[in-house]
Amino acid sequence: MASSASSSTGSSKKIDANGGPDTADKEEKKEDRTFECNICLDTARDAVVSMCGHLFCWPCLHQWLETRPSRQVCPVCKAAISKEKVVPLYGRGSTKQEDPREKVPPRPAGQRTEPEGGSTFPGFGFGDTGFHMSFGIGAFPFGFFTSTFNFGDARPGAAPHGTPQHLEEQYLSKLFLWLAVLFIFWLLLA
């Protein structure tokens, strides 16, 4: 573990100090392993990253997803994944797009969003004011609700169970919960 930590902070000088091209070679290999596909354990080709952050070759991941269509999980952490939600990695030295199309569908493309234009006020088009407004109000009871709870928890001498004060607090929390629920109902109906 210690060695991996040292390798991340400007390793080349340290290796020279330690001497030996052997160590340099080993360190290099270790660094390479960061970019190994989690399935074939080789350096990832046509690399993609899942939403949970795990790196694979696209052909490898594709085959994994094909093997178990009913159970689409990350091979490393078992988070839910899908073909549509992987991010391709384009390094500078990445391969041309020609290779594995015969057997494997092409790697999904990256998603590009244009940066926001400077002049318009972002996010407040006239068309969707309704949405923004209701969201603003809707968030209110939640915030209030959670803050009351947090307040109760953080208090140094929170009332012990069974005491009238404790009961009263419980009653208040429940009241707020109901208020929040009613509020959401009202929002839904409105």
Least Å distance between CB 8 and other proteins?
20
**Which residue from 151, 172, 170 is spatially nearest to 160, judged by alpha carbons?**
170
| Ramachandran quadrant class, 41 (left: phi over 0; alpha: psi -120 to 50; beta: rest) | left
**Which range of residues in 12-20, 75-83, 110-118, 150-158 is near other proteins by CB under 8 A?**
75-83
75 binds other proteins (CB under 8 A): yes
The partner residues of 48 in beta bridges, in order of sequence, read 56, 88
Least Å distance between CB 64 and other proteins?
5
* Single-letter code of the amino acid located at 64: W
State the number of binding residues for other proteins (CB under 8 A).
Answer: 18
Q: Which residue of 7, 11, 54, 55 would you call a contact of Zn ion, by CB under 5 A?
A: 54
**Which range of residues in 40-48, 82-90, 107-115, 138-146 is near other proteins by CB under 8 A?**
40-48
Stretch 12-41: interaction string toward Zn ion, x if CB under 5 A: -------------------------x-xx-
For every residue of 71-92, DSSP letters joined together read --B-TTT--B--GGG-EE---T
Least Å distance between CB 42 and other proteins?
7
Least Å distance between CB 15 and other proteins?
19
d(CA 85, CA 72): 12
d(CA 117, CA 122): 8
Contact partners, residue 122, CB within 8 Å, separation at least 6 = 116
38 binds other proteins (CB under 8 A): yes
86 binds other proteins (CB under 8 A): no
48 binds other proteins (CB under 8 A): no
The partner residues of 47 in beta bridges, in order of sequence, read 57
Write 102-106 long-range contacts (CB < 8 A, 24+): 103/59, 104/58, 104/59, 104/62, 104/63, 105/62
Residues contributing to the site for Zn ion (CB under 5 A):
37, 39-40, 52, 54, 57, 60, 74, 76-77, 79
Residues contributing to the site for other proteins (CB under 8 A):
38-42, 54, 59-60, 63-64, 67, 71, 73-76, 78, 103
